[in-house]
A and B are shown apart, each in its own frame.
Chain A
Amino acid sequence: MIVAERKNIQELLETLKNHKKILVLGCGTCVTVCLAGGEREVSIIASALRIAGRVKGINLKIEEGTIERQCDNIFIEQTADAIQKVDAVLSLGCGAGVQAIAERYPNKPVYAGLDTKFIGILEERGVWAEKCAACGTCVINEYGGICPVTRCAKHEMNGPCGGSLEDRCEVNPDRACVWQLIYQRLKAINQTEKLSQIRTPKDWSTSLAGGPRVIVREEHRI
């Protein structure tokens, strides 16, 4: 899932202070699961903004709403009436959701209420960890199902580096060296021979280095 975090309330208030009526719009998918921008967080952020506004003498009228997915036009259309009635939208979707709303309503100011962080998983209650960098060419199969592109601080393709201390990463000793994890995993599935192959440098043109990416699948187009 895409993992995001709430922006600071004062920062949001500063962004919104010139508008009178605002719609705080949540998204029912990834950001709901990571407890950053779902229905509950919409209510919390709307309340906090009203309180912060009143403390500073700014009277914001705040509407609340949540749709199933902000990155999908079918669901965005459900917001048309609500968005028409407000001066601006504070989207609690990920970066894609905010832009999708802004594209759909070109004359309405749309602001991001969250900082989109990464693609990750819920490791334990209240802890989310990055697992995928969306680099465009997945190399996980060569490393026993563990991604060195994302989880090695140096993005090594032929690790570990010289700084690996036993099973710890030198960049952050609180973190396991991913190459230790890769070795243990390959050993467990009898594929350690994969580590004796020298991997060529990764082609980063499929990542963001090649600019924003678009996938076109003709069979699905209308």
Chain B
Amino acid sequence: MNTESKHTIVAFCCHYCAYAAADLAGSMRLQYPSDIRVVRTPCTGRLEVGFILRAFESGADAVVVAGCEEGSCHFKDGNLIAKRRVNSTAKLLTESGIEPERLRMVNVSAGNAPLFVKAMKEMAETVHKLGPLYLAVVAGSVGESL
């Protein structure tokens, strides 16, 4: 696999699990593609559909939502809420003409750095197969709020 950064993959990572797993991956010297841009979130349940769409609009070729393992959310059910939102956003992306494979939710515990790395590699491979989106918003095309 080409590990050179050619694409932009935004990974929204939960502070309590996937973000810690990403950190651990660094400590363990585990390599994952440089396409990944990690954004820390307090909980994946905090993610709104709009955040994911804005990521695509701003030039992301794919988005990964990385939350806690099911049943171990720090806020009880934030990751389950995120799962439903990711599923509905994937449908909205399909409606908008984007492959739903470009959006994925993964569940990674704080201690499972190898799984985090595997998930990121898999998403990078998917994007390498699908190619870039070229959706980055041209300056001025996002309107001002009323």
- Which residues of A are at the interface with B, using a C-beta cutoff of 8 A? 8-10, 21, 23, 25, 40, 43-44, 46-52, 54-56, 59-67, 78-79, 82
Chain B 16-54: CB-based contact to A (< 8 A → 1; otherwise 0): 000000000000000000000000000000001110011
CA of A138 to CA of B56 in the docked complex: distance in angstroms?
49
Report whether A50 and B95 are in contact in the complex, using a CB–CB cutoff of 8 Å: no
Max chain A C-beta neighbours (<10 A), residue from B49, B50, B135, B137: B50
> Nearest-CB distance from A155 to chain B (Å)?
34
Chosen A-B contacts, 30 in total, with CB atoms closer than 8 Å, are A9-B95, A10-B96, A21-B143, A23-B143, A23-B146, A40-B48, A40-B50, A44-B53, A44-B92, A47-B53, A47-B54, A48-B53, A50-B57, A50-B141, A50-B142, A51-B57, A51-B93, A51-B97, A51-B98, A54-B134, A54-B135, A54-B137, A55-B97, A55-B98, A61-B140, A61-B141, A61-B143, A63-B144, A63-B145, A64-B143
Contact B95 A65 (CB under 8 A): no
Which chain A residues lie closer than 8 Å to B145 at the CB level?
63-65
- Give the number of residue pairs across the A-B interface with Cβ within 8 Å: 75
B142 touches A9 (CB 8 A): no
Contact (Cβ within 8 A) A64 B146: yes
Q: Is the interface of A mostly helix, strand, loop or mixed?
A: helix
Q: Is the interface of B mostly helix, strand, loop or mixed?
A: mixed
Where the two chains meet, the residues of B that have a C-beta atom closer than 8 Å to any C-beta of A are 48-50, 53-54, 56-57, 92-93, 95-98, 134-135, 137-138, 140-146
Tell me the nearest residue of chain B to A83, going by C-beta. Answer: B146
Closest partner residue, chain A, to B89 (CB atom):
A44
A9, A23, A40, A62: the one contacting B96 at CB < 8 Å is: A9
Q: Which residues of B contact A8 (CB under 8 A)?
A: 95
Q: Quick check: A66 and B50 within 8 Å, CB to CB? A: no
* Cβ-defined contact, B143 with A55, below 8 A: no
Q: How far is the CA of A99 from the CA of B50 in the complex (A)?
A: 27
A62 and B49 contacting across the interface, CB-CB below 8 Å? no
**Given A43-B50, A47-B53, A61-B140, A82 and B96 touching (CB < 8 A)?**
no
Q: Contact at B97–A60, with CB atoms within 8 Å?
A: no
User: Least Cβ distance of B11 to chain A in Å?
Assistant: 19
Per the bound structure, the CA–CA distance linking A52 and B53 in Å amounts to 11
**Looking across the interface, which residue of chain A has its beta carbon closest to that of B94?**
A9
Contact: A60 with B141, CB < 8 Å? Answer: yes
Are B146 and A66 in touch, CB under 8 angstroms? yes
B53 pairs with A51, CB closer than 8 A: yes
Task: Select one of B95, B134, B137, B144 contacting A48, CB under 8 A.
Answer: B95
Q: Which residue of A lies closest to B137 (CB)?
A: A50
Say whether, besides A47-B53, A51-B96, A52-B95, A59 and B141 are in contact (CB < 8 Å).
yes
The 4 closest A-B pairs by CB, nearest first: A65-B146, A63-B143, A47-B53, A55-B97
